[in-house]
Chain A
Amino acid sequence: MLRKVNGIEVNIDPIPIRDISFPSPFPAGLEFSSPARGTWNIAHQGMLIPQAHEIFVCAASCLRGVVLTAYEMRAEKRFSTVAVEESNLIEGNMEDLIIDGVSHIIDELPQKPPCVLVYTSCVHHFCGCDLDMVYRELRSRFPMIDFTDCYMNPIMRKSGRTPDQIMRSRFYSLLKPKDILPGSVAFIGNDFSTAKDSTLYKALASAGIKIYELTECNTYEEYQEMARAEYYIVDYPSAKVGGEDLSERLSGKLLYLPFTFTYKEIRENVRKLSEALPIVLPDFDAEEEKCEEALASAKELIKDTPVAIDYTSFTRPLGLARLLLDHGFNVCRVYADAFIGEEKEDYEYLCEKHPDLEIWPTLSPQMRFAADHQRSDYLCIGQKAAHFNGAPHFVDIVENGGLYGYQAVTKLCELMEDAFINEKDIRERISKKAWGCESCI
């Protein structure tokens, strides 16, 4: 497509899937930030730990985003900051700044929290700050408070574990060993509660299995009870390392059952669960039949309306595109800057069967001018797709939205039908940070 930039027409084009390199289709370079804000950040996520107090130690430019995150989610009373200044870099007193700053804040709090999440940043990594000593000292000063090391260091995003992977692990680092409750499970690493009617939850609940989940905890004691789980279920890919860390540290066992839209993989995941726990296997054929009916019904309504999907909606955007294309939907565009390795099979399938499927970046500078300010007829799945296409008909969901298994398919069909019929205010919806979280905006 052509867009005018400073009076000059600029080509803004996608790449057909057949021509992309997997898993990173686009070259790294300058980055643009779309106004879609529905995904959660590390300040939102830390607040999931009941009664936790967050203290960020960073420069003002880094603090600005998280402090206002806390305000917007009305959690400012659980959030404090220590500002790094130039003198701290010059004088090399970063350890003192953290210890004294965190101590001072705790002393000033009207009520002592049971745990404090201390977030350090890129500068601490670069100046060789002795964080081990810092936490030793803090634990010695405040023996009644649990501390954990958290990080806001996006500069490390290409160095081993990503910041998202690290943080989805750190939020469980406060769990202390407890006696295991045999046959119990904990969902690990999700920002949303697993839907009660999801395939996994239903199977577990109907077998009377005790289920722990961070999002359902109301007190720090309840959070600590999660340590009793015998199995840690992880379905969110970037939480897998968190599950691995936890199973290494405590005595629970990891069950990695990744979110998927593929019937075969759903069956495999549920079977894997049944090998560990005494669940009753669902009638797979009947469940799949229900999915087929839901897909047919949605297709009947939506017909050949062009569909666009973005990576913030579901962790398997290519898997979703495959499912919908195989059921006759007119999926034209997928927005993603990178794919997870688990999508390789779907990528190869789509290259062969739907080679013209358009793959669009979201971070590339050209996307600054890609947004269609005219209303479009696209049915979009995800906030970024809705923004770029100017599509008021969109499914507003992020990070799988707590869906799982066959229920994810049927629920998505419902949401697509609803989105097709009812318009949403794009700007109002996508400007709120952290989909599903409280917001004063």
Chain B
Amino acid sequence: MNQTSRILSTYSADAFGVASSLFELGGMVIIHDASGCNSTYTTHDEPRWYDMDSMLFVSAISEMEAIMGDDEKLISDIVTEARKFHPRFIAIAGTPIPAMTGFDGPSVAMQIENLTGIPSFGFNTTGMKTYVSGAAMALRDLAARFVRKDITPKRDHYINVLGATPLDFSTNGQIESIVKLLTGNGWKVNCTYAMNTTFEAVENMGCADVNLVISSTGRDTAKFLKDTFGTPYLEAVPYGKEFSRKVLSSLEKLYNGEGTDIFETKEAPSDGCFLIGEEIAALSLSEALLLETGRSFRILCPTNDGPLLRSTDRYTPYEDDIVDALSGAETVICDPTYRNILTEKARVIDWPHEACSGRIYRKYIPNLIGDISDISEKL
């Protein structure tokens, strides 16, 4: 039956995707929720909570406020704190009850902006979709609002990296490794949107000649930048040595105005090898493993039904589907929580994903940028 999980975890939700993607940009993010979302996000999904004083709060909506549609209380509370803390922007993310009561996030944001003069966003997240949808809309809308339109691509190997959040890349140096790989190969990284970057770099994203989209959370931003500046983009994570070369080569082709198709494998054989993860990361790792080991993997993607998924891959948000798909699995690369549904016959290679298991396996998340030996040697 769809929607039930006997034992599998629940992926991080859309409202947390908003919070995670905007965490480092100097704004004030309010999850419009009674209480639980605050500690859930900050405990399980936010490795930066203890070390960075980012402003993330919940509205603490009560039963009567929800029944009466009392948005004035929310607006007043946000305006009060905004006047104290002077955030660069304000973002409100909805959850199930605001979704039920027809909370109009964009209109409330407009009122707050009128009262404070601070750019404000209202995201109609519902708490019922995965982090991918929330992070994607937050990153895109923020870019649409703040990226300067008066600059153009520099034609000097400038690049943005789009779709960086700890939910997909933790805080174990993967983003730094991507930057190192790019700069070591002649690229000038303007912005890693939105980790380890500055707000000024976000404003200057139009200067890039190419965008590298490292998770599906960055896809909509890439489309916006393409529509606005004509900037081409590549969707890939430079995992492993061979695939990294391919990524660099593809970026160069895009820079030179040539087309590229980085994921050449259109179908994966049905030989019982599976890889479970976010669309772009999973496909990139699959391609990297094919290049270095000759092994190909079918993708099971529980986070989003993305356009890159091949005919042999599947969008599988539900446990029963995943159990069925993996019933004859020989080798599965996945978050360790999936071990609970795999038979003893299956060889399992752990690939912890923070958006799935939160902080539990954080210290075991491998940095596969330019080197996939942590996975390939176990095959």
Chain A residues within CB distance 8 Å of chain B: 5-6, 8, 10, 28-33, 35, 37, 58-65, 67-68, 71-72, 76-77, 79-86, 89, 97, 100-101, 104-105, 108-109, 121-123, 125-127, 152-159, 363, 365-366, 368-369, 427, 431, 433, 440-441
Q: How many A-B residue pairs have CB under 8 A?
A: 205
Instruction: Indicate whether A68 sits within 8 Å of B4 (C-beta atoms), given known contacts A5-B53, A152-B36, A158-B63.
Output: no
Of residues 321 through 336 on chain B, the ones whose CB sits less than 8 Å from some CB of chain A are none
State whether A68 touches B127 (Cβ < 8 A): no
State whether A68 touches B9 (Cβ < 8 A): yes
CA distance A84 to B58 in the complex (A): 21
- List 7 extra interface pairs beyond A65-B40, A79-B7, CB under 8 A: A6-B87, A59-B127, A61-B33, A61-B37, A61-B96, A68-B358, A441-B359
Query: Across the two chains, which residue of chain A brings its CB closest to B85?
Result: A5
State whether B100 touches A123 (Cβ < 8 A): yes
Query: Across the two chains, which residue of chain A brings its CB closest to B81?
Result: A365
Tell me the minimal C-beta distance from A3 to chain B in angstroms: 8
CA distance A65 to B44 in the complex (A): 7
Instruction: Tell yes or no: B5 within 8 A of A by CB.
Output: yes
State whether A122 touches B5 (Cβ < 8 A): no
State whether A157 touches B58 (Cβ < 8 A): no
State whether B100 touches A83 (Cβ < 8 A): no
State whether B49 touches A35 (Cβ < 8 A): yes
Which size bracket describes the interface of B in this complex? 35 or more
Q: Looking at the complex, which of B13-21, B104-112, B176-184, B219-227 is the stretch in contact with chain A?
A: B13-21
Name the contact of A158 in the complex, choosing from B6, B10, B62 (C-beta under 8 A): B62
CA distance A365 to B53 in the complex (A): 11
State whether B99 touches A105 (Cβ < 8 A): no
State whether B60 touches A29 (Cβ < 8 A): yes
State whether A81 touches B10 (Cβ < 8 A): yes
State whether B88 touches A6 (Cβ < 8 A): yes
Instruction: Tell yes or no: B86 within 8 A of A by CB.
Output: yes
Instruction: Tell yes or no: B312 within 8 A of A by CB.
Output: no
State whether B97 touches A123 (Cβ < 8 A): yes
State whether A157 touches B96 (Cβ < 8 A): no
CA distance A313 to B115 in the complex (A): 40
Interface centre among A33, A76, A108, A109 (most CB of B within 10 A): A33
CA distance A79 to B9 in the complex (A): 10
Name the contact of A33 in the complex, choosing from B58, B97, B129 (C-beta under 8 A): B58
Query: Across the two chains, which residue of chain A brings its CB closest to B96?
Result: A59
State whether A67 touches B10 (Cβ < 8 A): yes
State whether B3 touches A82 (Cβ < 8 A): yes
Q: Which residues of B contact A369 (CB under 8 A)?
A: 53
State whether A31 touches B85 (Cβ < 8 A): no
Q: Which residues of B contact A365 (CB under 8 A)?
A: 55, 57, 81, 84-85
Tell me the minimal C-beta distance from B86 to chain A in angstroms: 5
Instruction: Tell yes or no: B95 within 8 A of A by CB.
Output: yes
CA distance A333 to B12 in the complex (A): 37
CA distance A326 to B357 in the complex (A): 48
Q: Which residues of A contact B78 (CB under 8 A)?
A: 30
State whether B360 touches A440 (Cβ < 8 A): yes
Tell me the minimal C-beta distance from B19 to chain A in angstroms: 11
Name the contact of A68 in the complex, choosing from B1, B57, B340, B357 (C-beta under 8 A): B357
Name the contact of A62 in the complex, choosing from B11, B36, B101 (C-beta under 8 A): B36
